[in-house]
């Protein structure tokens, strides 16, 4: 998914604010975001994104090939 990191991080901040005031929106989109947020929390991963892509040095060529193939297919 190609999301501008700043926009995504605003959603992360908004979710945190919603949790602080203890309200629970019921939309499917909110529930999906909440599940993803919970998964990251359970596995000790950061919630926000930087937009950086990292890979082991040996995998860079394969990573770029797959990214270009996905982009060409519109994925």
Confidence of residue 75 (pLDDT cuts 50, 70, 90): low
Letter string b/e over residues 51-74, b meaning 16 or more CB atoms within 10 A of that residue's CB: eeeeeeeeeeeeeeeeeeeeeeee
Which pLDDT tens digit goes with each residue over 7-59? Answer: 888 988 998 899 899 888 889 988 998 898 888 889 888 888 877 777 677 77
* Number of C-beta neighbours around residue 12 at 10 A: 16
Can you give the residue ranges of every domain in the chain? 5-73
> pTM of the full predicted structure?
0.56
């Amino acid at each position: 998914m190609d999301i501008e990191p700043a926009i995504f991080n605003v959603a992360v901040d908004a979710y945190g604010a919603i949790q602080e005031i203890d309200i629970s929106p019921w939309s499917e989109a909110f529930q999906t975001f909440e599940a993803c947020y919970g998964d990251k929390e359970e596995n000790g991963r950061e919630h926000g994104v930087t937009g950086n892509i990292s890979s082991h040095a040996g995998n860079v060529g394969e990573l770029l090939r797959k990214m270009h193939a996905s982009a060409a297919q519109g994925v």
